[in-house]
Amino acid sequence: MLPRLLFFVGTRPEIIKAAPLFHVLRKSSEVQVDLVHTGQHYDWNMSGIFIEELGLPTPIYHLGVGSGSQPFQIHEIIERAEEIVGTYLPDAILAVGDTNSTLAVAILSSKMDVPFIHIEAGLRSFDLTMPEEINRRIADHVASLNFAPTERAASNLLNEGYPPERTFVTGNTIVDAVLRMLPKARAQSNILKKLKIDPSKFLLTVTIHRRENADNPERLESIINALIELKEVQIVWPLHPRTKGNMEKTDLLKRLYTAKHIKVTDPLPYLDFLKLLDSSTVVATDSGGVQEEAATLKIPCVVLRDSTERPEIIDEGIGKMAGADDLRIKRYVRDFLYNE
C-alpha cells in the first residue's frame, strides 16, 4: 500500500505555495496525496477560484472553520481535523507557511503522533508581537521534516537547535507557481483593460491584510494619506475583506473611493492578480507572499511593515521597509519610480 499524505491548506498564499508540490506528488507513483481545506479563507475570491485556476482537485474534506478570533480558528481546526486524521490515517501531514491553519495542523499532528512536514520553514522576523512569528516557530519545532526556502532560513533552524539531518533547503514553491502560471496570466487575463489601466503611466499595486495594519486605524490612515498624495501614479488596491470591514467603520474607505487615481477592487483571482503584479512599476504590501511574488518578477516592493521574515528582499535592494510612515512610503515609492 502506498504511503498516504494529507496536504492541508487554508488561505490564499497556502493554496498558491502548495500547488506546485501537490501536482508533483500527485504524479508520483510512490505516494498517495489528498487535499484538505480548513476554510480559514472562505470567500470564493480568496480561496475557491485559486484552487480552480491552479488546477488543484476539490479537497476531499472542507472543515469550514470560517472567520473568528485566532484561538477560535485554531481550536476549531484541531477539533474538526482530528476526526479526519483518525479516519484517513495518513503516514504524514503537510502544510505551508505560518497561518493559524498551519499552526493548528502542526499541533494536531504532534498530538496524534503523525509526522508533520513543514514547507517554508525557518523564516524569522524576530518580532514576537507578530502572530505569524509564533505560528511558524511552533510549527518548525514540532515538525518531523523542515523544508526551508533559503540558506538563511535553514540557518535559523540550526541556530535554534533543530536537527540538521531533518532540515533541507528546497527553494520557494511560490517561485514555481509564479513561473508556471505567468504565461497563462499574460495570455488570458484582461484585468488591465477592465480597470482601464494606462500602460504609459506608472502603476502601483497595494495589498494590506495583516493585523498590525488592518486592525489599526492610525496605521491605515497613515498609509492611505500617503497613497492619496501619490497622485502621479495609478494605484490599484484589491481590498481584503478584513481590511475593508475595518475601513468601513471610519471615513477611510470613502476617501479612497473619491481619490481619482486609486482604483479599489474586490480580491482578485490569481491570474488577474499575477497579471496586475507583472504590469506594476512598484508594489506596496504587508504580505510576505506578495513580497516573494514581486521579487520573482523583479518588481520593486515597499514593505508596509516594521519587520519582515524575508530580509533577503531588503538585502538585495529590491525592497524597502517603510512601515506605516506616510513620509517613508511616499519617499520609497518615488525612489523606485524615478531613481532605480
Question: What whole-number distance in Å separates Cα of residue 311 and Cα of residue 228?
Answer: 28
DSSP per-residue codes, 144-185: SEEEESSHHHHHHHHHTT--GGGEEE---HHHHHHHHHHHHH
Which residues, 6+ apart, have CB-to-CB distance to 134 below 8 Å? 103, 128
Active-site residue flag, 209 = yes
Distance (Å, rounded) from C-alpha 48 to C-alpha 276? 20
Cβ-based neighbour number of residue 304 at 10 Å: 26
Kindly name the residue from 37, 118, 209, 240 that is annotated as catalytic.
Answer: 209
- CA geometry: angle at 170 spanning 164 and 171, to 5°? 130
Q: How many CB atoms lie within 10 A of CB 159?
A: 10
The letter for the amino acid at 181 is M
Residue 94, beta-bridge partner list = 7, 117
Angle, alpha carbons 291-137-297 (nearest 5°): 15
Q: Compute the distance between CA of residue 205 and CA of residue 301 in angstroms, rounded to an integer.
A: 10
- Evaluate whether 279 touches 201 at the Cβ level (below 8 Å): no
Q: How many CB atoms lie within 10 A of CB 150?
A: 18
Q: Which residues contact 329 (CB under 8 A, 6 or more apart)?
A: 222, 223, 226, 227, 284, 302, 304, 322
- Give the residue numbers marked as catalytic: 209
